[in-house]
Structure formats: structure tokens, C-alpha cells
Chain A
């Protein structure tokens, strides 16, 4: 089945220790998104890619970076995680059609000790 996969599902890191979260998709979608979700709140968009064209949301902290080496994979790097970065991180994909649905992965829950 075509899908969005996130690894790992649970990640524990230490304060200030860099961490990378990964997302892959078999849907062959052009657009990939990273969201941060805290405590059952609405997901907050961090970045998105139109193909390899990177788009950073204005209020995304510099501590967060992203890479998309090819259509299938996208990575979220947190350079120096703080306690406030503990959250669920969601990856999503869609086509370029604005009527299309965004399909989400299962998420990675990040704990910062």
C-alpha cells in the first residue's frame, strides 16, 4: 500500500544533542510537509517542499532544519533540542493540486531529557 512512513516512532534525546527525524513516502507526491504538534493542539507547519524548492515558515526557529535529498525522503534536523521542542512531529505529503488531500505519517514523538 502506498503510504507515508516515519522513523523512529519514538525518539528520546538529551538537551542540546542533535537529532534527526526521517520521513519517506511511496505516494510519489511532489509536496512534503513537516508539522510540529504539542499536547493535542493543532499541528503547526514548520516547512514544506515543492519538489526540492524549500519553504520555511516565518516563525520556524533556526534550530530546525530540513533536507530533501530526493522525492521519496525528507529529514527534519533539530540542531540543539530544548525542552520546549518535545512534541509530536508529523510528516505529510500531497500533490501540487490544491484540491488534493494531505496524507500524514504516523508521527515521531520526541522526548527531550
Chain B
């Protein structure tokens, strides 16, 4: 079975500082990993994904994430946070082994608060 953990319910960072939102996963095969962002009363917006290849993935709005197979992690990062980055962030995984098909398993979400 596939699973995702986001160990922090909330991350606070000052505007202009680097931010990291943590994600660890568990799968039987190789993972496909995704990050989504959700603003209040909105759907999930795709940020980036790791399928294969380069461990550092660049996505929308200056976000990037690093796939680390040995630590089973896929942390989301941004070099300089903006107040407008304040939102709810979800990590998700899809296992390439077994009958997971197209199904995503989401982490519990991390609320990012960027203060001016």
C-alpha cells in the first residue's frame, strides 16, 4: 500500500526567507510524486511532479522539490518566500507497482504561513 506523511501541520516563515515543506512516502515499487497547492475555497492546483530522471524538479511559481530515494522524501522548497505563497500544500504519491492505477494518495496537508 502507498502512503504519504507530511509531518508538519503548519510552517511559518518570514517573507524573503527560504521555505521547506516536508513530505515522506512509502510505496512498494517506484513512486510518482506530486505537489499541489490549495488556496481558500479553491481546488487543488498542480505545482510539480517527479516521475523519473533528475532528482531536482522545478515547478510553477518558483517552487522546486528534491526527490531523495534513500530517505524516501520529496520536500518542497522555494528560495525566497512571498506572502502570496501562504496556502495549504499537499504532497501525493502514486505507486507504480500493483493495482494502484491512477490513484493518488495524499498527505494530510501543511499550511504555509508567510509573514511580511
Contact = CB atoms under 8 A, between A and B. Distances in A.
A96 interface: yes
A43 B44 CA distance: 9
Contacts, number: 56
Residue among B34, B44, B107, B108 facing the most chain A CB atoms (10 A cut-off):
B44
Interface stretch (B18-26, B66-74, B95-103): B95-103
Interface residues of B, number: 26
Interface in B76-98: 88, 90, 94, 96
B102 A107 contact: no
B41 A98 contact: no
A101 B51 CA distance: 10
Contact of B107 (A42, A90, A96, A105): A42
Interface string A75-112: 00000000000001010101010111111111101000
A79 to B, nearest CB: 24
Contacts of A4: 43
Interface of A: 4, 6, 31, 40-43, 45, 48, 88, 90, 92, 94, 96, 98-107, 109
Interface of B: 32, 34, 36, 38, 41-46, 49, 51, 88, 90, 94, 96, 100-104, 106-109, 111
